[in-house]
Homo-oligomer: A and B are copies of this chain.
């Protein structure tokens, strides 16, 4: 089983990386881009095949380690 964890900055938190990316794309002539945000994805290989249980334990991992919940929010997808 795989768990895909998407981690992004909470709305309102400054995203200097995203801003710099948007500006750089503009400089390269991609004027259709009006904004950018950068986040992380963590892909976990997991034993077992109980999706419910996996999700619960990934939530715990996010709270304990993977996400910095002070400024980041996360979303979990479990793939068989």
Contact = CB atoms under 8 A, between A and B. Distances in A.
Interface residues of A, number: 34
A45 B24 contact: no
Contacts of A65: 21, 24-25, 28
A34 B45 contact: yes
Q: How many copies does the complex hold?
A: 2
A66 interface: yes
A24 to B, nearest CB: 6
Contacts of A30: 57, 60-61
A42 interface: yes
A37 interface: yes
Given A32-B47, A47-B32, A61-B25, A40 B37 contact: no
